[in-house]
Amino acid sequence: MIVDCHGHFTTAPPALGQWRERQIRAFEDAGARVDPGELRIGDDEIRAAIEGGQLRLQRERGTDLTVFSPGAGKMAHHYGDERTSLDWSRVANDLVARVCGLFPGRFAGACQLPQSPGDALASSVRSSAAELERCVTELGFVGCLLNPDPSDGYWQAPPLTDRVYYPLYEKMAELDVPAMVHVAMSRNPAVQGTCAHYLNGDTAVFMQLCQSDLFKDFPTLRLILPHGGGAVPYHWGRYRGVMQDQGRPPLEEALLGNVFFDTCVYHRRGLELLTDVIPAANVLFASEMIGAVRGVDPETGHRFDDVKALLDTIESLADDDREAIYGGNALRVFPRLKGRATADDDQQKEAAR
Diameter over CA atoms, the chain: 60
Distances in whole angstroms, Cα of residue 40 to Cα of each of 45, 86, 344:
10, 19, 30
d(CA 286, CA 180): 12
Name, in order, each residue with C-beta under 8 angstroms of 171's C-beta and a sequence gap of 6 or more. 129, 132, 133
Alpha-carbon gap, residue 115 to 310, rounded angstroms? 35
CB–CB of 243/206 below 8 Å? no
SS3 80: coil
* Closest to 10 (Cα-Cα) out of 93, 69, 52: 69
What SS3 string covers 286-334? CCCCCCCCCCECCCCCCECCCHHHHHCCCCCCCHHHHHHHHHHHHHHHC
Query: Which residue is catalytic, options 38, 252, 272, 288?
Result: 288
Distance from first CA to last CA of the chain, Å, rounded? 25
Residue 261 in 3-state DSSP? strand
Active site (annotated) includes residue 288: yes
The tally of CA atoms less than 13 A away on the side-chain side of residue 93 is 26
Contact present, 307 and 263 (Cβ < 8 Å): yes
Active-site amino acid positions = 288
